[in-house]
Amino acid sequence: MTDAESPVISHNSVRGAFSAGRMFVVGDIHGCLDELEARLVFLGFDKGRDKLFALGDLVDRGPKSAEVFALLDEPWFESIRGNHEELLIEAEGGNCDMHVCNGGAWFAFLEPEERKRLADKAKALPVAMLVTTPSGRRIGLVHADMPGSDWDEFIDRLDTPQVRDYAMWTRERVYHALHNRHLEPIRGVDHVYFGHTPLKAPVRAANMSWIDTCCFATGNLTVEELL
């Protein structure tokens, strides 16, 4: 694979090219490692060739948060930051009540050194990611939502706290999609994937998809191939 053909990960996260293989995106895992592994086996995922991009919320609520978080050390796994990673960071800084109330008790029981190590890894996760597939499609990954309808303008503003919070917490677009209201396509990308909002099934509108199917409660983890 030449440089021009290599998948590109942009905005704060670059781990380079990988062997030619398939690319997938997964919704909020929330500590559901067994369901993830089962889904990857079903899809014939090859950890030596394929790549999996997660939409954040790797941790909390499910039984294996630490084990899912450890996947960040695997070369086949990438993730953006979700609001639960943000809660983890705030908990390590002393504001732990909100994290515990949202499934983060596992983190409170860790040794201080381990909490700091995990918080540092969470801080290193990008809030948004752009993936260029081998076919040349530009795929945006954002945990919750994005202001405006232009990808490049969104990225230019992502260093501001308000835009970062919007990207990790807001649910405006998905509510429009759920009520069949018109949504403008997001310019500058071919498609954007979001998680964050628990759904019975993936929702699609314009050039957007929401794929958090609430695995910790339903056992249904959505993984889609990026073509």
Bridge-partner residues for 129, per DSSP? 141
* Catalytic pick among 30, 84, 191, 196: 84
| Structure confidence at residue 20 (pLDDT) | 72
Q: Is 182 a catalytic residue?
A: no
Residue found by looking up tokens 């199917």 in the block: 213
Is the distance from CB of 16 to CB of 78 less than 8 angstroms? no
Bridge partners of residue 226, in order along the sequence: 23
CATH match for 3-226 among 3.30.530.20, 3.60.20.10, 3.60.21.10, 3.40.50.1820: 3.60.21.10
DSSP3 helix / strand / coil % (the chain, rounded to 5): 35, 20, 45
H or E stretch including 226?
strand 223-226
Please state the φ and ψ torsions of residue 181, each to the nearest 5 degrees: -85, 150
Burial string for 183-195 (b: 16+ CB within 10 Å, else e) reads eeebebbbbbbbb
Tokens coding 162 = 């308000």
Tell me the pLDDT tens digit for each residue of 55-73. Answer: 999 999 999 999 999 999 9
Burial class (CB in 10 A: 0-12, 13-18, 19+), 135: exposed
Backbone angles phi, psi at 223, to 5 degrees: -130, 125
Q: What are phi and psi of 7, to 5 degrees?
A: -60, 145
**Ranges of the chain whose pLDDT falls below 70:** 1-19
SS3 98: helix
Count of CA atoms in the C-beta half-sphere (13 A) of 93: 11
